[in-house]
Amino acid sequence: MLRTHTCGELRISDINKTVTLCGWVQKTRKLGGATFIDLRDRYGITQLIFSGDDENSKILGQEGLTREMVLKVTGTVIERESKNKNLATGEIEIKLQNIEVLNGSLTPPFTIEDETDGGDELRMKYRYLDLRRNVVRKNLELRHRLAIETRNYLDKLNFLEVETPVLIKSTPEGARDFVVPSRMNPNQFYALPQSPQTFKQLLMVSGFDRYYQIVKCFRDEDLRADRQPEFTQIDCEMSFIEQEDILQTFEGLVKYLFKTIKGIDIPTLPRMTYADAMKYYGNDKPDTRFEMKLIDLKTLVKGANFKVFDDAEAVLAICAKGASEYTRKQLDELTEWVKRPQIGATGLVYARVNTDGTLKSSVDKFYNEEALKNWATACGAEKGDLILVLAGAEEKTRKAASELRLEMGNKLGLRDKNKFSCLWVIDFPLLEWNEGDQNLLASLAGRWHAKHHPFTSPKPEDIELLNADPGAVRANAYDIIINGVEIGGGSIRIHNKNLQAKMFDVLGFTKEEAQKQFGFLMNAFEFGAPPHGGIALGFDRLCSMFGGADSIRDFIAFPKNNSGRDLMIDAPSEITDEQLKELNIENVIKKN
Amino acid sequence: MLRTHTCGELRISDINKTVTLCGWVQKTRKLGGATFIDLRDRYGITQLIFSGDDENSKILGQEGLTREMVLKVTGTVIERESKNKNLATGEIEIKLQNIEVLNGSLTPPFTIEDETDGGDELRMKYRYLDLRRNVVRKNLELRHRLAIETRNYLDKLNFLEVETPVLIKSTPEGARDFVVPSRMNPNQFYALPQSPQTFKQLLMVSGFDRYYQIVKCFRDEDLRADRQPEFTQIDCEMSFIEQEDILQTFEGLVKYLFKTIKGIDIPTLPRMTYADAMKYYGNDKPDTRFEMKLIDLKTLVKGANFKVFDDAEAVLAICAKGASEYTRKQLDELTEWVKRPQIGATGLVYARVNTDGTLKSSVDKFYNEEALKNWATACGAEKGDLILVLAGAEEKTRKAASELRLEMGNKLGLRDKNKFSCLWVIDFPLLEWNEGDQNLLASLAGRWHAKHHPFTSPKPEDIELLNADPGAVRANAYDIIINGVEIGGGSIRIHNKNLQAKMFDVLGFTKEEAQKQFGFLMNAFEFGAPPHGGIALGFDRLCSMFGGADSIRDFIAFPKNNSGRDLMIDAPSEITDEQLKELNIENVIKKN
């Protein structure tokens, strides 16, 4: 080792030791005849001191010390006169005997500080410098720790980590696949896995009993903010279990991680049906850090000649506690906010329950105080509360009300990043109608689409509805939600060949298509498939949740931007004609 | 859980308990009025017993019990009359009250036994059944354990596991890349990483200090036996270290794994220079479980008018201990063996040192007993030994002698799979001349090629040879060898931008090419790169070494065959025109 100690470990008990440290120059300052250097490495910062007129000044040459220069220094640990309580090494400093410059550094394009002056693009381009910042590195240390503890927990429960292949077969019924032309098998392509779903089910057929993997997955989606073309999941599967076993096991994992990593005791996770989540939160991933449920006012408000409500399919209210004194300006802003295309409401009705008990609404023309009192009762609104009402088409209004609820949660400070509210959402619909989804191939529009994936089992009592009313069939499927974010989800799988074939039929696969794409799985089910089920947790998102951040990007060492580009290495990029030719492909754009 | 216990856990202390087990029918037999079933799961086998005329026979129906059927059974633990000492559960059996068939099974295409009757192709096609076999599953359990212990060891030494991206940039200077067309960036391609080399170096520039990852890598090579297009490596990098630190740290890892997993104490690893390995073993990955070094007889044998030796560039002997009584037939077979094209020798000369002390050779016409005695002295041959001599062109002969040595090691039982001999080979050449290698793009032939990779640092004392005699420059590079297999290798990297640029120059890159492909790395070196180095261990191979197997294939859950095909899922395969069109590529073969 070039060093005897790291920059984070020397203490008062080390005084008088001769030590050698290596690290980066964080900053320097001169005071009297002395020069002070803060030397930084991954483990901390240690203060160095040398007098300006000695040998070392000569060594450093004309240009002297610059930020981010790499030094190897030797000196004696001495007690600091003015101690720095904020620094683990703050009681000591190193009186230098020798400085060796291991490497110079240009001036970084942004400051290597917790609060940097670098913008997103610049930080991504120079990600290797961005990663030097404590805050970013700590995110990745957290990620490391979460992975280790996840493995410890699952290993103790007899889960085996099994690596599944990355070069697999294209099954574009889900999101789009990334594909890989095969040189050795001309005209054929591998695909990168959207998840190891079929492989983990095959491992259950193999009797592996309990499988897990922390694994990269790939989806060629149009990227929204906070989606990455490659992402990591904690992927798990168990045999001879029922839904309850999966919920217990992975509730246990989440509790274990909160306890071990953050020292937080999470109470037993409540369970909410999908139907209730949609009814009370307008959302299948409710943020339950705060109440403010959606209240259906439809029957209460109809027939008052207020056309907006009379014509509406849905009239939904929320009660914003303690917000009755919102100003007209604030309410106007909120109205503009709900009318944004992303939210899509046509307007906002409000009713104040004033602190003196009087009620006042934006629709007094149609509803007298008596009527408003009924609203207040329905909403559980008390003195000082504000009722906000949206109306319109069912689905759109519910979605808008959900967004409004979250926005009011933000405004009222109810979404504390250091508070964690976890729950299970269960009883999801098995299928949803694909009207045309930009993340699916166009040829799949106008068909039923598996809400989770085609291997999810329907609830036995709903199987008979598969033909008559596919949309009403509920699945043995569950999501784990933390603070309004879907952290993971899974299902009990189909393990019966005939039911699986039926499912492909409902999804619009011909027998031939199903056999071609998933024949291996259906064949496997002929040889003694056990009952099984599993779950996958989004690891990037879990990390960002634990790190108290909204974005996953700073919990990924080398993320891609919203166009799927790595700005640092400049990928994707063109490849050579020689490569294209070997792969038997031509580029349409290049050719034309 | 559908079960109360696994099939591997019940003991004599559990007698009289009512238990429920789930598993697969391994075999059944009838004895008197009773039926015995061996029920199998991942954890073991438990014997079940029920009398033939009770309810259960009706439940099982006409077809009765078939192999690999999935059962859920409930019964009472009773003591077995005839105990089976070979089975952990052999002291008990379950007297059944209830049998439920969870799933039926067709007859498997091969037997699910340790010794199966299934051929390779069939086993690969039905890999999910092959994985049910104890021997295959145990390999993957070993793999899981090796991964966990590797992480434990490295975590304790402050290594951080950091995931590096899978969708990166094509840098075809090494082996061929697999590429991935980008839909969002038309005309551009990602590449799959051949290793995370540049990313781990960037993490060192970032100050991560100690990095590791157990990571999938990809090489589009013409597959030989025991090569896979996707493989896994334990990838590591450290900063502020010298070669000695890497050797110590990873020698420590290998020792720790042998001790923890196999209970074997491995002695300090010897170190051998590349030059010595080639000289004494004809091979840069010597199998040091046995001696039998190559002996240079050239000066000793020249001038005896034996044209084969007189004309030869190299005359190399090995001494096969105790083999003097090899029959003429055995020697003829050996001669045929060395003449096979894979070995490439033109013939084989032998000299026996008989047990009575006389000497007899196949070239007595040219060499009298006195001369042969000199051979024996040079070879350290004693009474009862056999000297085998090959002659011809230097490189070819050395390679053939190396192969002959290994073959004689096999024949003489010197390559015990339960004996482990580890060593470091150091001081590799930095460069090798690429005459034209089928695993490289044709356009790279006739150039110097990095023996490890272009980031490996030359030994400081050899740098001045880079222009004058590139082939003579030694690298700060090292391989770890176990039983003649290269388990891993690495190097101290270049951390100086100018030296890196010089290296690209020697490798025949223009400044523009180097900048285009590796500009990000050279730029990173401008901002304070620390001295660093690392290693990568082939994880698949490490697992097969620990498992005492020659092939890595059964240590990979879902391997590909020698054409890069997954026979089970039938990949690669054609993709739809819709997919091709979205990716802006056309298939040349399909089009024509």
DSSP string, A191-206: E--S-SHHHHHHHHHT
Residue B419 confidence (pLDDT) = 95
Residue A445 confidence (pLDDT) = 74
Which residues have C-beta within 8 Å of that of residue A311, sequence separation ≥ 6? none
A68 contacts A105 by C-beta, under 8 angstroms: yes
Task: Check if B113 contacts A (Cβ < 8 Å).
Answer: no
Residues A290 and B432: their CA atoms lie apart, in Å, by 66
Task: Check if B207 contacts A (Cβ < 8 Å).
Answer: yes
From chain A, pick out residues whose CB is under 8 angstroms from the CB of B575.
Answer: 170, 172, 177, 179, 189, 191
Choose between A48 and B225: higher pLDDT: A48
* Tally of residues, chain B: 592
What does the block give as tokens for A165? 């292949």
Residues B565 and B322: their CA atoms lie apart, in Å, by 46
B280–chain A nearest CA distance, Å: 32
Residue B416 confidence (pLDDT) = 95
Q: Phi, psi at residue A534, to the nearest 5°? A: -165, -165
Residue B403 confidence (pLDDT) = 97
Chain B window 41-60: which residues touch A at a Cβ cutoff of 8 Å? 41-43
Q: Which of B102, B177, B208 sits opposite A42 (nearest CB)?
A: B208
Helices (H) and strands (E) in chain B, counts: 18, 23
> Nearest Cα to B194, choosing from B180, B215, B213, B209?
B215
Residues A81 and A92: their CA atoms lie apart, in Å, by 8
Distances (CA, A) of A138 to A27, A133, A305, B368: 20, 9, 59, 76
Residues A274 and A489: their CA atoms lie apart, in Å, by 13
Residue B309's pLDDT band (cuts 50, 70, 90): very high
Closest CA in chain A for residue B190: A572
Task: Check if B70 contacts A (Cβ < 8 Å).
Answer: yes
Task: Check if B188 contacts A (Cβ < 8 Å).
Answer: yes
B96 contacts B50 by C-beta, under 8 angstroms: yes
Q: Phi, psi at residue B88, to the nearest 5°? A: -60, -30
Strand duo A92-103 + A44-51: pairing: parallel
B467 contacts B481 by C-beta, under 8 angstroms: no
> Nearest Cα to A323, choosing from A308, A337, A334, A307?
A334
Q: Which helix (H) or strand (E) holds B36?
A: strand B34-41
Task: Check if A407 contacts B (Cβ < 8 Å).
Answer: no
DSSP string, B413-432: T---TT---EEEEE--BSEE
A61–chain B nearest CA distance, Å: 17
Task: Check if B105 contacts A (Cβ < 8 Å).
Answer: yes
* Predicted confidence (pLDDT) at residue B486 exceeds the cutoff of 90: yes
DSSP B286: -
Alpha-carbon Rg for chain B, nearest whole angstrom, is: 30
Beta-ladder partners of A23: A71
* Predicted confidence (pLDDT) at residue B592 exceeds the cutoff of 70: no
A483–chain B nearest CA distance, Å: 26
Residue type, A465: L
Task: Check if B131 contacts A (Cβ < 8 Å).
Answer: yes
From chain A, pick out residues whose CB is under 8 angstroms from the CB of B564.
Answer: 167, 182, 184-185
Q: Which residue is it, tokens 């998840």? A: A195
Choose between B418 and B441: higher pLDDT: B418
Residues B242 and A74: their CA atoms lie apart, in Å, by 17
| Residue in A180, A194, A566 to test binding to B, most B beta-carbons within 10 Å | A180
B364 contacts B335 by C-beta, under 8 angstroms: no
Q: Which of A104, A128, A240 sits opposite B22 (nearest CB)?
A: A240
> Nearest Cα to A400, choosing from A473, A317, A471, A323?
A317
Task: Check if A242 contacts B (Cβ < 8 Å).
Answer: yes
Q: How would you list the strands of the sheet with A314-320, edge to edge?
A: A295-296, A314-320, A386-392, A349-353, A359-361
Q: Give B455-483 as a 3 state SS string.
A: CECECHHHCCHHHHCHHHCEECEEEEEEC
Max CA pair span of chain A: 92
Flag if A203 and B155 touch (Cβ within 8 Å).
Answer: no
Q: Which helix (H) or strand (E) holds B58?
A: helix B55-60
B190–chain A nearest CA distance, Å: 5
A540 contacts B139 by C-beta, under 8 angstroms: no
Q: pLDDT tens-digit profile of A158-194?
A: 999 999 999 999 886 668 899 999 998 888 999 999 9
> Nearest Cα to B477, choosing from B516, B511, B521, B431?
B431
Average model confidence (pLDDT) across chain A = 93
Residues A4 and B520: their CA atoms lie apart, in Å, by 31
B45 contacts B7 by C-beta, under 8 angstroms: yes
Task: Check if B1 contacts A (Cβ < 8 Å).
Answer: yes
Q: Give buried/exposed letters for B573-583 (b at 16+ CB in 10 A, else e).
A: bebeeebbebb
Closest CA in chain B for residue A526: B105
DSSP B393: S
Flag if A208 and B137 touch (Cβ within 8 Å).
Answer: yes
Chain A window 485-504: which residues touch B at a Cβ cutoff of 8 Å? 495-496
A396–chain B nearest CA distance, Å: 30
**Does residue A168 sit in helix, strand or coil?**
strand
B309–chain A nearest CA distance, Å: 44
Residues A546 and A531: their CA atoms lie apart, in Å, by 33
A588 contacts A148 by C-beta, under 8 angstroms: no
Weakly modelled stretches of chain A, pLDDT under 70: 52-63, 172-174, 225, 439, 589-592
DSSP string, B105-125: BPPPSS--SSS----HHHHHH
Task: Check if B438 contacts A (Cβ < 8 Å).
Answer: no
Residues A331 and A340: their CA atoms lie apart, in Å, by 15
A130 contacts A108 by C-beta, under 8 angstroms: no
Q: Which of B170, B568, B575 sits opposite A179 (nearest CB)?
A: B575
Task: Check if B227 contacts A (Cβ < 8 Å).
Answer: no
Residue A34 confidence (pLDDT) = 87
Closest CA in chain A for residue B526: A105
- Whether omega before A454 lies within 30 degrees of 0, making that bond cis, reads no
What does the block give as tokens for B500? 């890196």
Task: Check if B230 contacts A (Cβ < 8 Å).
Answer: yes
Residues A406 and A400: their CA atoms lie apart, in Å, by 10
Task: Check if B175 contacts A (Cβ < 8 Å).
Answer: no
Q: Which helix (H) or strand (E) holds A578?
A: helix A577-582
Residue A172 confidence (pLDDT) = 66
From chain A, pick out residues whose CB is under 8 angstroms from the CB of B581.
Answer: 588
Residues A320 and A352: their CA atoms lie apart, in Å, by 10
Beta-ladder partners of A94: A48, A77
Residue B377 confidence (pLDDT) = 97
B482–chain A nearest CA distance, Å: 24
Closest CA in chain B for residue A247: B1
Q: Which of A155, A185, A576 sits opposite B564 (nearest CB)?
A: A185
Flag if B105 and A528 touch (Cβ within 8 Å).
Answer: yes
Cα angle A309, A315, A319; round to 5: 120
Q: How many CB pairs under 8 A join A and B?
A: 380
DSSP string, B152-175: HHHHHTTPEE-PPPSSB---TTSS
Complete domains list, chain B, with CATH = 12-103 (2.40.50.140), 139-271+424-555 (3.30.930.10), 290-415 (3.30.1360.30)
| Residue in A112, A136, A167 to test binding to B, most B beta-carbons within 10 Å | A167
Distances (CA, A) of B319 to A174, B231, B351: 64, 38, 9
ipTM: 0.94
Kindly report each contact of residues A245-251 with a partner whose C-beta sits within 8 Å and lies 24 or more positions away, as own/partner: A245/B1, A246/A478, A246/A490, A246/A492, A246/A533, A246/A534, A246/A535, A247/A271, A247/A424, A247/A478, A249/A157, A250/A480, A250/A488, A250/A535, A250/A537, A251/A424, A251/A480
Q: pLDDT tens-digit profile of B373-400?
A: 999 999 999 999 999 999 999 999 999 9
Residues B483 and B421: their CA atoms lie apart, in Å, by 5
Chain B window 245-274: which residues touch A at a Cβ cutoff of 8 Å? 245
Chain A window 341-360: which residues touch B at a Cβ cutoff of 8 Å? none
Q: Phi, psi at residue B109, to the nearest 5°? A: -70, -10
From chain B, pick out residues whose CB is under 8 angstroms from the CB of A70.
Answer: 528-530
Residues A579 and A244: their CA atoms lie apart, in Å, by 51
Task: Check if B433 contacts A (Cβ < 8 Å).
Answer: no
